[in-house]
Amino acid sequence: MASGTSKGVNQKVNDEARPRSTEIFERGKKTLVGGVDSPVRAFRAVGGTPLVIDHARGTKLYDVDGREYLDYVCSWGALILGHAHPEVVAAVSDQAAKGTSYGMTSPLEIELGEMIVKAVPSIEMVRFVSSGTEAAMSAVRLARAFAGRDMVIKFEGCYHGHSDGFLSEAGSGLATLGIAACPGVPEAFASLTLNTPFNDLDGVEKLFKKHPNKIAAIIVEPVAANMGVVAPAPGFLEGLREITKREGALLIFDEVITGFRMAYGGAQQVYKIVPDLTVMGKIIGGGLPVAAYGGKREIMERVAPLGPVYQAGTLAGNPLAMRVGLAMLPKLQATGFYEELNRKTLRLAEGLRSALRETGVEGVVNGAGSLLTIFFAGNPIRDYTDAKKSDTARFGRFFQEMLRRGVFLPPSQYEALFVSAAHTDAEIDQTIAAARSSLGALANN
C-alpha cells in the first residue's frame, strides 16, 4: 500500500496499475451517466482513471486497489474533522438504530437549529433542507417574495448550485467542463439572473441603475471558492451591504463552503458583515446530505407553513444528519481550533509558493482561512476572468504528478483545496515535498 512521498513516488495511477478502479468505473459508465453522480468526479479536466474509493479514515482515502492517498478534498470541504471521526461514527451508528428517517419533526432538528442560530448572529430562524442547491434556490425564492421583485445579481465564477437561475458563468463544475451556460435553462428565466464580476462594485452599481426597483437580492460567496479560492477585495462585501440597504434589496451570503469553516460564525463573522439571508451546508452535516437557509425572523416567517412561500422536503431535517451536526459543531468550539487549522493551511500555502519559486514554475497560490488554490497563472487572481487565464492543462499534469506521490488534490483548477483538523504538520511537510518534486517534473517537461 503506497503512502507518503517516499513510498508513493513510483505509484502508478494509470489503468494498468489500478485494474479494479478501471473495471468498476467502466462498469459504472453503463448505468451511471459518465460513470459518476457528480461531473467533477469523472476526472475529465485532469485525465486518467477516476478514483474509486473503498474506505477512508482520518486524512486518508483508500481506493479499491488498496492504494492510499493523503486527501485534500475532504468531501469538498464537509469533513473539517477528517474522515470517520470516532464521535461522528458513533452518532451515526446510534441514530441509525433509532431510525434513519421519520418524516416528522424530531428534537434533533430543534437542537441543531438552536446551535446554528446561536453561532451565526444574522440568523434568527432556520430551515433545513437536503442540499446546497436546494438551500440557495429556496433562499432566492424567499428573497424575491419578500422584496416583491424578480431579478437577482450573482457574480461570475460563483457557484450556488444547479438550479436554473444560477447556471450561467457559474464556475465550479461548469468551468471545469468548459460550459458557459447550461442548455435546458429557458432564456426567459436565465434573464432574471444578472452576472457581474466578483470584486467589482462598479458593476453592481451599474446593474441597479439599469434595472431600478427590479432587483430583489444579491447572492454571493463571501469568499469565492468555485473559481478557485478568491478572497473579497477590501471594501467589497461592505459595499454590497451598503448598496443593498440603499436599494431595498436583500443580501444573501452563500456560506455552503465558508460556513463553520472560516470561523464558527462563518465568513460573515470574519468580515463583520450581517447579511439578510445565509445559505449553509457541508460542515453542518459532517458528510451527510444536509443544508440550510436562515435569516431575519421577519423574512423567514414568509416561508410555509407560516407564510405563502412554499418549500418542503421528505428528508429535510433527517435525524442521521442532525445527529452528525450535533456531534460535529461542539468540536469546532474548542479553544484555538480555527487558529490551528488556519496555521496549518498557511504553512501549506507558503510551502507551495516556495516550491513554485524554487522550480521556476509560473503560479499563484490564493488562500483564505483553511481554503487554498494553486493557479498556474502569471497574474494575480481577483475574479473569474483572471482565473480563466490559468493553464488548466498544466494543472492537470500537476494533479497527476501529485497523485503519483500519494496526494489527492481537487481534480479541477477551479475547485478549492481543503485542510482538515486531522492533517498533521508532518503531512503538510509531506505535501510540500511532493509538490516540489511534482513541480520539478513539470519544469523539466
Looking at the DSSP bridge assignments, the partners of residue 293 are 127, 279
- Identify the three-state secondary structure at position 194: strand
CA distance to 164, 195, 203, 267, 402, per residue, from 198 (Å): 20, 9, 9, 16, 30
Q: Is the dihedral of CA 262, 265, 266, 267 positive or negative?
A: negative
Residue that is written with C-alpha cell 493523503 in the block: 70
Identify the sign of the CA torsion 368, 251, 153, 234: negative
Contacts for 347 with CB less than 8 Å, ≥ 6 apart = 425, 428
Q: Catalytic positions, please?
A: 159, 254, 282
CA distance 77 to 418: 6
Edge-to-edge strands, sheet with 151-155 = 125-129, 291-295, 277-280, 250-255, 215-220, 151-155, 193-196
Q: How many CA atoms lie within 13 A of 135 on its CB side?
A: 32
Contacts for 180 with CB less than 8 Å, ≥ 6 apart: 168, 169, 174
Per-residue cell: 154:
450573482
Question: How far separated are the first and last CA of the chain, in Å rounded?
Answer: 28
Using a 10 angstrom Cβ sphere, with 0-12 exposed, 13-18 middle and 19 or more buried, the burial of residue 230 is: buried
Asked whether the beta carbons of 40 and 173 are under 8 A apart, the reply is yes
Give the cell for residue 176.
Answer: 471545469
- β-pairing, 215-220 vs 250-255, is parallel
- Give the DSSP H/E element, type plus range, for residue 373: strand 371-375
Q: Length of the chain in residues, anyone?
A: 445
Strand 277-280 to strand 291-295: parallel, antiparallel, or no bridges (unpaired)?
A: antiparallel
Exposure string of 123-162, with b = 16+ CB inside 10 Å and e = fewer, is: bebbbbbbbbbbbbbbbbbbbbbbbebebbbbbbbbbbbb
